Amino acid sequence: MELIFLQTCINGLMLGSIYVLIALGLTLIFSIMGIINFAHGEIFMLGGFATYFIGEYYGVNFFLSLIISMMIVATFGVLIERIIFRPLREDPLNLLVISLGLAIVLQNLALIFWGPEDRSIPVDFQGVIKIFGMMFSNERLAAFIISVTLVIGLYLFIGRTKAGKALQAVAQDYEAAALQGININQMNALAFGIGCALASAAGSAMGPVFLVSPFMGIMPVMKAFIVIMLGGLGSVIGSVVGGLILGIAESFGATYLGSEFQNMVGFIILMVILIVKPLGLFGYRE
Amino acid sequence: MDTVSKKSFYLFCLIIFSLCIPLFMKDPYRIHIAIVTMLHIILALGLSFVMNTAQVPLCQAAFVGFGAYTSTLLVMRLNFSFWLSLPSAGVLTAILGILVGLPTLRIKGIYFAMATFAFGEIIRLLFIGWVGLFGGANGISSIPSPNPIEIPGLLTLEFQSKIPYYYLTLMAMFLCLMVFYRLNHSRIGRACTAVRESDLLAQCTGIDIMRYKVFAFALNSFFAGIVGSIYAHYFHFIGPQDFTFWQSVEYIVFVIVGGRGTFAGPIVGSIFLTFLPEFLRIAVEFQVVIYGLALILVILFMPKGIMGLLFKIISKSSNS
Amino acid sequence: MESKKRLILVITFLFVLQFALGLGLQPRAEAKELKIAVITALSGAGAEWGRGVLHGAELAAEEVNAKGGLNIGGEKYSFKIVAYDDKYTGAGGAAAAHKAIYEDKVNIIIGSISSASVLAFQDLTEKNKVLVLANSWARDVLKPEKPYSFRMFMSSTQLAPGIAQWVRKLYPDIKTAVTVAPNDASGWSVAEDYVKSYEDAGIKVISKEFPERGTKDYYPMLNRIKAKNPGLIQDGALGVGAVAILTKQIRELDLKALPVGGATIDPDLFVKLCGKKEAEGFIYPSIFDVNSKKPIVVNFLKSFKKKYGEKATITYVDPSFYDATNLLFAALEKAKSTDSTKVRDALETIRQFEGVNGKLEFGGKETYGIDHQLYQSYYIAQIKDGRETTLGWVR
* Each residue's pLDDT tens digit, A201-256: 999 998 888 889 898 888 888 888 888 888 887 788 888 998 998 988 888 888 88
pLDDT for B2? 58
Is C28 within the bounds of a domain? no
Is C186 within the bounds of a domain? yes
Interchain CB contacts (distance < 8 Å): A and B: 105
How large is the ipTM?
0.83
Report the chain C residue with the minimal C-alpha distance to residue A124: C275
**Claim to verify: residue C163 and residue C204 sit in the same structural domain:** yes
Mutate to test the interface with A, among C40, C178, C183, C224 (most CBs of A within 10 A): C224
Domains contained in chain C, number: 2
Is pLDDT at A135 greater than 90 in this prediction? no
Q: Which of C15, C102, C123 sits opposite B27 (nearest CB)?
A: C102
Quickly count: other Cβ atoms within 10 Å of residue C218's Cβ: 25
The four Cα atoms A246, A252, A257, A262 give a dihedral, to 10 degrees, of: 30
Owning domain of residue C127: 33-154+294-363
Interchain CB contacts (distance < 8 Å): A and C: 101
pLDDT for C26? 46
Is pLDDT at A132 greater than 50 in this prediction? yes
pLDDT for C266? 84
Contact criterion met (CB < 8 Å) for B241 and C116: yes
- Residues of chain A with C-beta less than 8 angstroms from the C-beta of B119: 271
Is C309 within the bounds of a domain? yes
Mutate to test the interface with C, among B7, B29, B278, B311 (most CBs of C within 10 A): B29
Mutate to test the interface with C, among A7, A104, A118 (most CBs of C within 10 A): A118
User: From CA B223, how far away is CA B229, in angstroms rounded?
Assistant: 10
Report the chain C residue with the minimal C-alpha distance to residue B308: C7
pLDDT for B78? 92
Mutate to test the interface with C, among A8, A57, A120 (most CBs of C within 10 A): A120
Exposed / middle / buried, residue B108 (Cβ in 10 Å: 0-12, 13-18, 19+):
middle
- Residues of chain B with C-beta less than 8 angstroms from the C-beta of A263: 121, 125
Is B260 within the bounds of a domain? no
Q: Is the dihedral of CA C315, C316, C319, C323 positive or negative?
A: negative
Q: How far is B194 from chain C (nearest CA, A)?
A: 22
The four Cα atoms C247, C248, C249, C253 give a dihedral, to 10 degrees, of: 100
pLDDT for B45? 94
Contact criterion met (CB < 8 Å) for A119 and C223: no
Q: Is residue C31 very low, low, confident or very high in pLDDT (cuts 50, 70, 90)?
A: very low
User: From CA C66, how far away is CA C15, in angstroms rounded?
Assistant: 43
pLDDT for A103? 92
Is B184 within the bounds of a domain? yes
pLDDT for A186? 84
Owning domain of residue B162: 25-244
Is B190 within the bounds of a domain? yes
pLDDT in tens, B20-32: 777 777 778 888 8
Is B50 within the bounds of a domain? yes
- Residues of chain A with C-beta less than 8 angstroms from the C-beta of C241: 117-118, 211, 213
**Claim to verify: residue C386 and residue C244 sit in the same structural domain:** yes
The closest of B35, B279, B270, B286 to C23, measured between CA atoms, is B279
Exposed / middle / buried, residue C2 (Cβ in 10 Å: 0-12, 13-18, 19+):
exposed
pLDDT in tens, B153-207: 666 777 878 888 998 999 999 999 989 888 877 777 677 666 666 666 666 666 6
Domain harbouring C212, CATH code: 3.40.50.2300
* C-alpha pair distances (Å), B8 with each of A177, B1, C11, C289, C330: 54, 11, 15, 71, 62
Is C6 within the bounds of a domain? no
Is pLDDT at C352 greater than 50 in this prediction? yes
* C-alpha pair distances (Å), C153 with each of A60, C29, C299, C303, C317: 42, 31, 21, 21, 9
What whole-number percentage of chain C has pLDDT above 70? 92
Q: How far is A12 from chain C (nearest CA, A)?
A: 9
Domains contained in chain B, number: 1
Is B277 within the bounds of a domain? no
Is C207 within the bounds of a domain? yes
**Claim to verify: residue C66 and residue C125 sit in the same structural domain:** yes
Is B257 within the bounds of a domain? no
User: From CA C274, how far away is CA C282, in angstroms rounded?
Assistant: 11
Mean of the per-residue pLDDT values of chain A? 85
The closest of C357, C359, C354, C273 to C313, measured between CA atoms, is C273
**Claim to verify: residue C388 and residue C243 sit in the same structural domain:** yes
- Residues of chain C with C-beta less than 8 angstroms from the C-beta of A256: 224
pLDDT for B70? 94
The answer to whether B50 touches B217, Cβ cutoff 8 Å, is: yes
Q: Which of A101, A108, A278 sits opposite B295 (nearest CB)?
A: A101
- What domains, with CATH codes, occur in chain A? 2-276 (1.10.3470)
- Residues of chain B with C-beta less than 8 angstroms from the C-beta of C86: none
Instruction: List strands edge to edge, sheet with C70-72.
Output: C70-72, C75-85, C33-40, C108-111, C131-134, C149-151, C373-375, C358-363, C353-355
Is B311 within the bounds of a domain? no
- Residues of chain A with C-beta less than 8 angstroms from the C-beta of C239: 118
Write the CB contacts of A45 (distance below 8 Å, at least 6 apart in sequence).
A106, A107, A110, A203, A212, A213, A214, A215, A216, A217
Is pLDDT at C27 greater than 90 in this prediction? no
pLDDT in tens, A25-65: 888 888 887 777 889 999 999 999 999 999 888 888 889 99
Q: Of B76-80, B222-226, C132-136, where does the model show the most confidence?
A: B222-226
What whole-number percentage of chain B has pLDDT above 70? 89
**Claim to verify: residue C263 and residue C388 sit in the same structural domain:** yes
**Claim to verify: residue C113 and residue C126 sit in the same structural domain:** yes
Q: How far is B207 from chain C (nearest CA, A)?
A: 29
Residues A123-128 have a mean pLDDT of: 80
The closest of C174, C144, C135 to C327, measured between CA atoms, is C135
User: From CA C131, how far away is CA C129, in angstroms rounded?
Assistant: 6
Report the chain A residue with the minimal C-alpha distance to residue B124: A264
**Claim to verify: residue C214 and residue C138 sit in the same structural domain:** no
**Claim to verify: residue C384 and residue C242 sit in the same structural domain:** yes
Is B79 within the bounds of a domain? yes
**Claim to verify: residue C127 and residue C174 sit in the same structural domain:** no
The answer to whether B137 touches B128, Cβ cutoff 8 Å, is: yes
Element (H, E) at A219: helix A218-231
**Claim to verify: residue C84 and residue C64 sit in the same structural domain:** yes
First to last CA, chain C: 79
pLDDT in tens, C53-93: 888 899 999 988 888 888 888 888 889 999 988 888 887 88
The amino acid sitting at B5 is S
Q: Is residue B305 very low, low, confident or very high in pLDDT (cuts 50, 70, 90)?
A: confident
pLDDT for A215? 87
Is C41 within the bounds of a domain? yes
Residues C206-210 have a mean pLDDT of: 90
Contact criterion met (CB < 8 Å) for C211 and A259: yes
Is pLDDT at C2 greater than 60 in this prediction? no
Please tell me if residue C117 touches chain A, with a CB cutoff of 8 Å: no
Please tell me if residue B309 touches chain A, with a CB cutoff of 8 Å: no
pLDDT in tens, C149-179: 999 888 888 889 989 999 999 999 999 999 9
User: From CA C211, how far away is CA A260, in angstroms rounded?
Assistant: 5
Q: Is residue C375 very low, low, confident or very high in pLDDT (cuts 50, 70, 90)?
A: confident
Is C183 within the bounds of a domain? yes
Is C229 within the bounds of a domain? yes
**Claim to verify: residue C126 and residue C160 sit in the same structural domain:** no
